[in-house]
Structure 1
Amino acid sequence: MSALLISSLAWLLLGQGIKYVIDQGFVAQNKNALTYSLGVVLGVVIIGAISTYFRFYWMVWLGERVCADIRKSLFAHLVTLSPNFFENTRTGEIISRFTSDTTLLQSVVGTGVSMALRSLVMFVGALILMAITSLKLTLLVFIAVPLMLIPIRILGAKVRTHSKLSQDKVAKVGSMVDESLHEIHTLQAYNHQHISSKLFTQKVEAVMQQAKRRIHFRALLIAIVMVISLSAIFVVSYIGAMMVINNTITVGELTAFVFYAVLAGGAIATISEVIGELQKAAGASERIVELMQTQADIVDDGKIELQAPNKSEFALQLKNIHFSYPSAPKRKVINGLSFDVKEGQRVAIVGHSGAGKSTLFELCQRFQEINSGSIEVLGHKSTDISLDNLRAQFALVPQDAVIFAGTVSENIAFSNPSASDSDIRSAAKMAFADEFIQQLEHGYESELGERGVKLSGGQKQRIAIARAIVAKRPILLLDEATSALDAQSEQFVKKALEQLMLEKTTLIIAHRLSTVVNADSIIVLEQGKIIAQGNHADLYKSSPTYKEFVDLQLVE
């Protein structure tokens, strides 16, 4: 602000210097006065240039800083939202708000606001000096001001509306790019390139059509303001020239007045242009604020912090659980489910697809909120335990292993960032991943690429198992962790998991007979209900659903 005021005052003083040069130098034909005044004018220009440098530097830095802070806040908020939000919102849409929307705000704060503030100071200063130079001519200029406010008010709102619509369409383009590139194998396997290109072209053209409407209103706003402001300057200059002829004002005063009038007109034109930018940014900021104000479905109001080792007779107790997804509230996914899991016990869960097995894992970790009933973890209600602490009791190995873009070490240590190199290597050996890791170009420091594209399915799974091992958490959730492994690797990993599960409570979504046979207890789910529970031998005799499951496995 200091640099802004100094630079603006310097350019305003330039008008007085011009007036002095003309009246005391040219008109009076005084060489000394001319030399002195030109020297002063040059000094003022240098001061203005230096202060302009600092104004520009600090304002652009401010734009970058604001953009960085918004991105940090936005990301910190997003990672707290529940899976429901991401199921209903496309990833590309969110990425668009991170990139194009925040970049637009950066441009406006760093450049637009700077120009607007400078133009505002210049406009006010120019008006004051115009009034000092000639009050009559200044009053004539004021007639044009209300005429300029009308288009700014009407067209500015149009620009804002179309800017938001334009950003929404840009987000849809981003969503399609994100989706297509992530699923490029499927896209090319079904020769969908040409169809995808046509769909993409349609979306891009929709963005272009929306942009044309926004540009039309913005250009119209600038043009109208320029016509009004410059017309006012020409009319006032003509009246001023008549006053010089009548000796009412001097040539230097008229020149200074016109200089200030041009400054004021230029300032108004700049402000009108910046208003268009601000309206565009307002549309982007609405989208960011909308995302920031999205509330998490899961309210973290638990106060209990479980300390390891936290011993309890039961690791998990589910009591009369009822659950429906918010998107389909009438369809019960879990319906009156109750069972206990003792510490150190190994429980297998079997059932047809859609029986509610994976949902059960989500409920245990409180990724979804149950409709009624209660879940107790290590002797405490899950809602009474802080969310971070609750999830710190579980180590999850999903059926589709998740690999992040990073090194092998970073992926294994993802569950426990404080893990030492020896912990990471030990976990990899237990998961029988060490051998193939050593064969990678840089061993444990090898980059795995986005989503682990450099690994086979079985290798990804072993990395995920190593991650669960290094987490050192009391309860294991295994979504048939060996399903993606070849026969040899499966045997190795099963031995490692056997050692791991000796000291852990384990819930296993079972797809393979070998997993079921070794379980302490087997739960058979159907449409969210327990229809049978017991050991393998008893269930094979008493449960038709379980018998069907086992017989299919034996046939295979």
Structure 2
Amino acid sequence: MARGNRQDNGARKPDMPTAKLTKENLREALLIFSYVKPYRWTFITGLLFIALSSGTTMAFPYFLKRLIDSAHSLSLGKEAVAPGTIALWMLGILIMQMIFSFMRVYLFSYVGEYALADMRKDVYRKMIMMSMNFFAQRRVGELSSRISADLSQIQEAVTGMLAEILRGLLTLVIGMGLILYLSRSLTLVMLSVVPVIVVAGVVFGRKIRKLSRHTQDQLADSNTIVQETLQGIGNVKAFTNEWYEIGRYTKSLQQVVKLAVSNGRFRGFFVSFILMSIFGTIILVVWYGTTLVQAGTLSFGDLTAFVVYTAFVGGSMAGFADLYTQLQKTLGATQRVREILRDDTEPVAVTDEPVAEINKLHGAVRFEHVAFSYPSRKEVHILKDVSISAAPGEQIAIVGPSGAGKSTIAALLLRFYQPDEGKLLFDGRPADDIPLSQLRKQMALVPQDVLLFGGTIRENIAYGKPGATQAEIEAAARKANAHDFIVGFSEGYDTVVGERGVKLSGGQRQRIAIARAILKDPVILVLDEATSSLDSASESLVQEALDNLMKNRTSFVIAHRLSTIRNADKIVVLDKGHVVESGTHQELLSHDDGLYKSLNKLQLEWTSEES
């Protein structure tokens, strides 16, 4: 909308690095549990099944010990529980473990999906209600990443990672207790290797995290190239730069591959070292354990159980390295989502309530000594002491050279931004006294670059009045000169327009936008160069539709083609942020040295040359 701020729309905040484990970050992570709270009993039940699952898992080696010792005792002619009975006990434990594991996964998935759906709705609601300044300083891809990639990372944490951390901790604690109970001397041998594994995990982990972060950043840059290329595919093809863009994307991907391979190399070293350490420890434990079995201080069953418990403990320790990395990513994602949810710099004042009688407008609008600079470029003064007034039902045309501040007037009318100085009044009331949603419900915008949503023509017209009947939609389309071309499609009003309306011509998209505005039946209408990009044939149809739309409505027409606003009640000429002239078409042409007369002359000369 506001051209004065378009060059800032590409500004992008740098991706946050993976978050470190600090008290502050952990407190931030409690955001997750605020969404889990409505499902707390399901969550607590899931925790119970984690404990039961871990308990049955750790019970298995104990019964394996009993089975081996029973077989050994019977071979020596001693009394013992029958191995078949112990095997049945073990089968029962496996069945229980299967049930507990199923319930654990199911309950945590249930809580995670519902909690994250609630969080997605809150993030989307927060983003969509932010002011235009919020969107002017962020890329669409960045915001999409917040609601997709970051929330998916949090979702994985709730549904899987959290359960794995708790299960790993229980396995570690129970396992350590049991191996200490079975043999303190073997436990000391096993633990002697732990410091080496921890130090290696820290060193390799830091390097792997750094490379992973660089890989993610480079991949994000590659995705940005794809997004920008596809959005501007017309320019790419017009300049025959397909191979240039392919080369640019290929170069970026090569960097991704290079970083990913380096990351894979370090991960390979790390995994190999961990596996060697774990299995080396098991070999050491088994060798030392056999000496204890030979000495008669340890049974063969105890040694078997100790080895299995050691594997469980070692597996838990090895798993914590990956879980730690995942936890850091989740904390980083939580910080970014929390940043949006906690952003209180922009007012959220939009409601879905119908327009109250006290807020119904008659259409009088007045700018009183308005000055404005875009928040991202405060040093550039777009409007300076601008005063404009419109009576109910008047057509006000805003003209002037590029960069004069025309579209900024439209942005302020729609209250996308607030004036830095001066007042904006509706029916004599300050704009701030009228709730934002109540004001915008009585206004409509027809922009130069019409954005149609990817649904049907019917859905796009009905966007002006959700819930409108087919008769209302068709009546609006007829007034917009759109009905004839719509019924010419094989699917009529159910024709899918494609992404951003790509299946329709510029004139067709413009007339659908006009039908949308007619259906809304606004009191105040804003037309932002609605015909400037159309050919003469399309312009004639669109202009007729606009004339129908502007009847009995206060209209602000931002015009590039002066021929379209000759019948305006008042023409306001802007130059360098100032109102330099004001009057009717004939009045302004009578000013010999006036800017309007000069612009009109230039357009007439250009038109004659074209013809």
Deviations 1:13-54 (A, max 9, x none): 111211111112233236961111111111111211222222
Paired position in structure 2 for 1:20: 66
Following superposition, the deviation at residue 270 of structure 1 comes to 2.0
Paired position in structure 2 for 1:545: 595
Alignment partner of 1:454 out of 487, 491, 503 = 503
| Counterparts of 1:514 and 1:533, CA distance in 2 | 17
| Counterparts of 2:354 and 2:430, CA distance in 1 | 12
Aligned 8 A contact 2:73 2:80 in 1: no
Is 1:11 equivalent to 2:60 in the alignment? no
Change (3 A) 1:254 1:234: same
Paired position in structure 2 for 1:467: 516
Change (3 A) 1:192 1:498: closer
| Counterparts of 1:352 and 1:225, CA distance in 2 | 69
Superposition CA RMSD, Å: 2.8
| Counterparts of 2:486 and 2:140, CA distance in 1 | 31
Aligned 8 A contact 1:120 1:271 in 2: no
**Percent of pairs identical after alignment?**
35
Aligned 8 A contact 1:159 1:276 in 2: no
Change (3 A) 1:96 1:305: closer
| Counterparts of 1:522 and 1:25, CA distance in 2 | 103
Paired position in structure 2 for 1:76: 125
Is 1:115 equivalent to 2:161 in the alignment? no
What is the identity, as a one-letter code, of the residue corresponding to 2:50?
L
Q: TM-score, normalised by structure 1?
A: 0.91
| Counterparts of 2:99 and 2:240, CA distance in 1 | 60
Following superposition, the deviation at residue 532 of structure 1 comes to 0.9
Count of matched residue pairs: 555
Q: TM-score, normalised by structure 2?
A: 0.83
Paired position in structure 2 for 1:476: 525
Alignment partner of 2:438 out of 389, 392, 409 = 389
Change (3 A) 1:418 1:189: same
| Counterparts of 1:176 and 1:490, CA distance in 2 | 35
Give SS of 2:366's match.
strand
Structure 1 gap segments, 5+ residues each: none
Aligned 8 A contact 2:172 2:313 in 1: yes
Give SS of 1:198's match.
helix
Stretch moving more, 7-16 or 103-112: 103-112
Following superposition, the deviation at residue 101 of structure 1 comes to 3.9
Following superposition, the deviation at residue 306 of structure 1 comes to 5.8
What is the identity, as a one-letter code, of the residue corresponding to 1:378?
D
Stretch moving more, 265-274 or 427-436: 265-274
Aligned 8 A contact 2:359 2:434 in 1: no
Give SS of 1:460's match.
helix
Deviations 1:223-282 (A, max 9, x none): 444444443333333332222111112211222122211211122122223223333444
Paired position in structure 1 for 2:307: 258
| Counterparts of 1:295 and 1:210, CA distance in 2 | 38
Aligned 8 A contact 1:427 1:469 in 2: yes
Following superposition, the deviation at residue 212 of structure 1 comes to 3.8
Is 1:45 equivalent to 2:78 in the alignment? no
Aligned 8 A contact 2:363 2:392 in 1: yes
Give SS of 1:76's match.
helix
Following superposition, the deviation at residue 308 of structure 1 comes to 5.0
Change (3 A) 1:213 1:278: farther
Map 1:14-413; keep pairs closer than 5 Å: 14-29=60-75, 33-65=82-114, 67-290=116-339, 292=341, 297=346, 300=349, 307-308=356-357, 310=359, 315-413=364-462
Aligned 8 A contact 1:160 1:279 in 2: no
Change (3 A) 1:287 1:173: farther
Change (3 A) 1:211 1:114: farther
Aligned 8 A contact 1:218 1:273 in 2: no
Following superposition, the deviation at residue 463 of structure 1 comes to 0.3
Change (3 A) 1:56 1:220: farther
What is the identity, as a one-letter code, of the residue corresponding to 2:84?
T
Give SS of 2:284's match.
helix
Give SS of 2:224's match.
helix
Is 1:418 equivalent to 2:467 in the alignment? yes
Aligned 8 A contact 1:306 1:385 in 2: no
Change (3 A) 1:308 1:205: farther
Aligned 8 A contact 1:222 1:273 in 2: no
| Counterparts of 1:70 and 1:163, CA distance in 2 | 26
Give SS of 1:343's match.
coil
Structure 2 gap segments, 5+ residues each: 1-46
Stretch moving more, 112-121 or 504-513: 112-121
Stretch moving more, 460-469 or 132-141: 132-141
| Counterparts of 2:451 and 2:350, CA distance in 1 | 29
Aligned 8 A contact 2:373 2:382 in 1: yes
Aligned 8 A contact 2:137 2:376 in 1: no
Following superposition, the deviation at residue 446 of structure 1 comes to 1.0
What is the identity, as a one-letter code, of the residue corresponding to 1:398?
P
What is the identity, as a one-letter code, of the residue corresponding to 2:599?
F
Change (3 A) 1:312 1:286: closer
Following superposition, the deviation at residue 513 of structure 1 comes to 3.6
Bigger relative contact order (CA 8 A; separation at least 6): 2
Change (3 A) 1:296 1:412: farther
Change (3 A) 1:85 1:208: farther
| Counterparts of 1:309 and 1:109, CA distance in 2 | 48
| Counterparts of 2:290 and 2:123, CA distance in 1 | 58
Following superposition, the deviation at residue 84 of structure 1 comes to 3.8
Change (3 A) 1:295 1:208: farther
Give SS of 1:270's match.
helix
Give SS of 1:519's match.
coil
Change (3 A) 1:217 1:113: farther
Change (3 A) 1:388 1:154: farther
What is the identity, as a one-letter code, of the residue corresponding to 1:393?
Q
Give SS of 1:531's match.
strand
